[in-house]
Amino acid sequence: MNRNRLYESIEHIDDDILERSERRFNKKKLRKLARAAIAVAGAAAVAAGVFTIAPRFTGLALYAIAEAEYPEMAHYPNEWAPTFESDYDAWKASKQKFNYYDEAYNGKYDSLDAVLSDSVGTLLSGAGDANVAASPVNLYIALAMLAEISDGESRQQILDYVGIDDIDTLRELTREVWQGHYSNDGATTSILASSIWLDDEVSVDKNVMNTLAEYYYASSYQGDMSSEKYSGAYRDWLNRETGGLLKNQIDDKQFDAESLLALATTVYYQAKWDIEFDAADNTDGIFHSAVGDVETEFMFSRDNSRYFWADKFGAVYKALENRGGNMWFILPDEGVTIDELLADPQLGDFIAAGDEWENQKQLMVNLSLPKFDLTSRLDIKEKLRELGIEAVFDPNKAEFSAVKSDNENPYIRSVDHSVRLTVDEEGVSAAAYTEMMMYGAAMPPDEEIDFTLDRPFIFVLESYLGLPLFVGVVNQP
């Protein structure tokens, strides 16, 4: 999100005060304060990616080239335990090693935020009446890895898209993104996992594989692409890294015997609402979908919150606890279709600005939100072409410096991007993977607004650091 640096001179902030305040005040501005204090002390303490030949999943030992190991994080303590205070201090210290980014990357991080926010319209357009979702952060990680193993025009088009001058800067920024979004403390889960799978006839630059492990937390494997055992190991990796949420999509994954390379990135996310919905307040209602009215269950909350508006939509957000971020709900104005809104540049501007958007007002917000379990699977190769990334898909232009074959030139044939996201009274669970085979909104009333999501809407799950972790369209809850 757009971040000014008014508070960069602040050196010490009581984190307990921050955590208590986050429930009442602008979370993003508090995040600015927190980052200004934590970045200096925490940057040197953040564990770097470590590569090792020993895999995290022992069944993959046969295939491992280099295996990333995730940093350890203290678990959120039992609040009833006699040692809670000391355990909490240990958890907080562990947490502060992550969920921040180095102040040296302010400009690059803001630029990346703008790029990912602007991509939302392209990624979600054209779904018609179906639900659709994507993970811009997940896609960024995949593209960054692709840049690392490529060269020439293939690499340059990716660097141009993300607005980065060179591979060294991209490498460092990707590590910042990974560490800033990592959480595995038993309360909130946010893990960006990556892997590259190679056929055994391919020659591999192992130094690059080690770089992928160190900076991208990505594991690399090599085996016979025509082997069911190798495909089974791949499916096992995908299922483990997405918490089983995408099992139906993954169970049919099989390497093509002619494939030389598969690149997979995943996001596994679970977090509870800062203030949960009360199931006793749930009601049955009608959702006016594009294909007809559907009866569904709506959750309800009433909070003193902020309402945001633009030319064609209104929006509210609901916070997730333990630095889980915010989930935004964007409702097109009556008469405005989802595709119209997705084509409006103002949508990307709003997603990037978030709670710093100019048109906002503090109100009593009566939020009615349908429970939903959304699954989406897309081949987004053509969407990446729209974003200017083309060379990697052309066998005559693709340049992969770290992966070579004596028989043919490796190139990307498909980009499979799957997402599942569930929303209920307690919170949000989501998973995603990307696989690459080679009108005027009126100003709100003075005091109160009913924000009822009873027609197709857009959601954005914004990470604690402000990047769009998941985005989607709910056409049919």
pLDDT tens for each residue of 217-228? 999 999 998 999
Number of domains in the chain: 1
pTM exceeding 0.85? no
Position 49 in a domain: no
* Whether the predicted pLDDT of 370 surpasses 70: yes
| Predicted confidence band of residue 379 (pLDDT cuts 50, 70, 90) | confident
Position 197 in a domain: no
Phi first, then psi: give them for residue 276, nearest 5 degrees: -70, 155
Contact 51, 132 (CB under 8 A): no
CA 202, 219, 178, 306 torsion: positive or negative? positive
Across the chain, what does the average pLDDT equal? 80
pLDDT, residue 36, reads: 25
Beta partners for residue 374, in sequence order:
421
Q: 438 vs 79, which has greater pLDDT?
A: 79
| Predicted confidence band of residue 358 (pLDDT cuts 50, 70, 90) | very high
Position 61 in a domain: no
Position 350 in a domain: yes
Give me the mean pLDDT over the 33-43 stretch.
Answer: 22
Domain of 344, in residue numbers: 279-372+440-474
CA 116, 119, 123, 127 torsion: positive or negative? positive
Q: What is the CATH number of the domain that holds 447?
A: 2.30.39.10
The beta-strand segments (E) located in 108-202 are 132-134, 183-184, 189-199
Q: What is the largest CA-CA distance in the chain?
A: 70
Q: 207 vs 430, which has greater pLDDT?
A: 207
Residue type, 70: Y
Position 445 in a domain: yes
pLDDT, residue 103, reads: 64
Give me the mean pLDDT over the 48-74 stretch.
Answer: 64
Give percent above pLDDT 90 in the chain: 36
pLDDT, residue 65, reads: 92
**pLDDT tens, 170-181?**
999 999 899 888
| Predicted confidence band of residue 106 (pLDDT cuts 50, 70, 90) | low
**Segment among 44-48, 112-116, 228-232 with least mean pLDDT:** 44-48
What would the DSSP string read from start to end of 283-317? EEEEEEETTEEEEEEEEEEEEEEEEEE-SSEEEEE
Position 84 in a domain: no
* Whether the predicted pLDDT of 4 surpasses 50: no
pLDDT, residue 90, reads: 85
**CA proximity to 434, closest of 272, 184, 312, 253:** 253
**CA proximity to 378, closest of 131, 129, 119, 112:** 131
* Whether the predicted pLDDT of 42 surpasses 70: no
**pLDDT tens, 327-341?**
999 999 999 999 999
Position 262 in a domain: no
Q: Which residues of 333-356 are buried (b: 16+ CB within 10 A; e: fewer)?
A: beebebbebbebeebbebbbbbbe
Position 394 in a domain: no
Distance of CA 216 to the CA centre of its chain: 15
pLDDT, residue 444, reads: 60
Give me the mean pLDDT over the 282-298 stretch.
Answer: 93
Residue 162 DSSP one-character state: H
Token duo for residue 249: 């999509």
